[in-house]
Amino acid sequence: MTPNVIRTRSVDRHTDGLQELPNGASMKKLHPFYEAHRPVMEATMRQRLDLIDDLLRERLTLPDAAAVKQDIMAEFEIVLTQMPYVGGAESRMSDFFMRLLGFMAIGRVLKRRGVIDNVIQEIELESFKRHLLTIPKAERMSPFISGRSQRSFCASVP
């Protein structure tokens, strides 16, 4: 391990929680729960970035947002390793943290690029709205409706 790598507390009692990267740097190992969900989280993040491509180009005055999106995905990988394990499927906080990752990555990258807070907030809110609208209404509403009401609601929604 290089001297300027910050060691983090391990979530695994059997290892030091760090893995060696090809360039010699170290990165905290991902908890198996997050590793199992990684492909879906990455695909969702890429989709969210594609949904706001026009907004990134417009608000950052760029002809192409590819470099920004690449930076955000790289930051997403970093944020992913920093997420605490909070109980997996048995904990509602796991879902919350997994959704929060994207906002953290977007915010960090845009802040480093000098984007003001109001614009970052606008971009993140719009990414959330656009992504939410890709999910069928019945599915979006299902966490708020239970039992018989959910069945009749889902039957009434196209």
DSSP class of 142: G
CA 144 – CA 142 distance, rounded (Å): 5
The mean per-residue pLDDT over the stretch 6-14 comes to 36
Which pLDDT does position 31 carry in this prediction? 85
Closest CA to 28 of 80, 98, 87, 105: 80
Please tell me which residue, 141 or 52, carries the higher pLDDT value.
Answer: 52
| Residue 129 burial (10 A CB sphere; 0-12, 13-18, 19+) | exposed
Which pLDDT does position 20 carry in this prediction? 44
